């Protein structure tokens, strides 16, 4: 192999190495940016159940350890504590319950007095136009739970009116309505029974 061929081969190898290095660096920074964007989107979605200015920590970065997460009608997948100026202001519970066509995942935010702040459906497979309406922004049926607690509605009344309870149903979605009512009731009862642990600032940080 003559000198010209050697130079050409070395030049090609150098170009290949530079291209590979550039590609790896680009992938590294792109992956980091994608991860940060995903984390930001998750925080915006999951913390949307908390009113602005009611917390100043990063709740999703310090998940709570939940004991006995399997409840009467649902299962808790995770829990997070919101704090303001170092004091607990709310708890967000990630709940899963069987619906009409599959599992329904909800975020349920509860204030320190055990009252429901808000609830949001994360995932569902319910019938379009019926149970699937739970995911519509500002769903009036879901908003009807805001402010209630086990002190304002006794345990025996946590059911549809057709089941001798206190709640109306989402039109045309009886099974879905029952599932959500049960999941919210389960979450409020879990909060009441584990209040000290859930609100004990610093216990999991």
> Where is pLDDT greater, at 197 or 128?
197
Model pLDDT, residue 133 = 85
Model pLDDT, residue 37 = 62
> Contact, 100 vs 116, CB < 8 A?
no
Work out the average pLDDT over 86-93. Answer: 96
Which of 6-10, 66-70, 75-79, 169-173 is the least confident region? 6-10
Mean pLDDT for the chain overall: 87
Model pLDDT, residue 160 = 96
Six-digit token string for 18: 């530079």
Per-residue pLDDT for 87 more than 90? yes
Six-digit token string for 96: 């899963």
> Where is pLDDT greater, at 160 or 5?
160
Q: Provide the pLDDT confidence category of residue 25 given band limits of 50, 70 and 90.
A: confident
Work out the average pLDDT over 17-35. Answer: 69
Q: Provide the pLDDT confidence category of residue 204 given band limits of 50, 70 and 90.
A: very low
> Contact, 177 vs 167, CB < 8 A?
yes
Listed residue (137, 96, 119, 104) closest to 50, CA to CA? 119
Model pLDDT, residue 5 = 72
> Contact, 169 vs 160, CB < 8 A?
yes
Q: What would the pLDDT profile of 170-194 be if each residue is shown by its tens digit?
A: 988 999 999 999 999 999 999 999 9
> Where is pLDDT greater, at 15 or 58?
58
Six-digit token string for 129: 């136009």
Model pLDDT, residue 62 = 83
> Contact, 74 vs 183, CB < 8 A?
yes
> Where is pLDDT greater, at 2 or 159?
159
First to last CA, the chain: 66
Work out the average pLDDT over 115-123. Answer: 95
Measured distance CA(38)–CA(141) in Å, rounded: 29
Burial of 92 (0-12, 13-18, 19+ CB in 10 A): buried
Model pLDDT, residue 149 = 97
| Residues 6+ positions from 190 with CB-CB distance below 8 Å | 71, 76, 93
- Whole-number Cα distances in Å, 19 to 11, 15, 29, 86: 12, 6, 16, 50
Work out the average pLDDT over 8-27. Answer: 74
> Where is pLDDT greater, at 129 or 118?
118
């Amino acid at each position: 192999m003559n000198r010209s061929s050697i130079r050409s081969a070395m030049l090609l190898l150098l170009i290949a190495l530079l291209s590979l290095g550039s590609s790896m660096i680009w992938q590294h920074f792109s992956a980091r940016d994608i991860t940060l964007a995903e984390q930001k989107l998750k925080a915006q979605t999951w913390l949307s159940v908390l009113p602005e200015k009611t917390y100043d920590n990063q709740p999703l970065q310090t998940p709570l350890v939940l004991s006995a997460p399997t409840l009467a009608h649902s299962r808790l997948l995770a829990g997070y504590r919101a704090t303001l100026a170092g004091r607990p202001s709310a708890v967000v519970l990630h709940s899963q319950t069987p619906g009409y066509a599959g599992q329904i995942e909800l975020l349920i935010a509860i204030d320190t007095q055990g009252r429901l702040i808000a609830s949001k459906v994360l995932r569902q497979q319910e019938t379009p136009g019926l149970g699937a309406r739970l995911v519509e922004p500002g769903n009036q049926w879901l908003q009807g739970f805001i402010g209630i607690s086990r002190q304002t509605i006794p345990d025996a009344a946590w059911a549809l009116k057709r089941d001798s309870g206190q709640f109306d149903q989402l039109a045309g979605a009886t099974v879905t309505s029952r599932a959500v009512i049960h999941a919210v009731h389960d979450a409020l009862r879990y909060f009441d029974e584990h209040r000290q642990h859930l609100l004990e600032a610093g216990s999991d940080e």
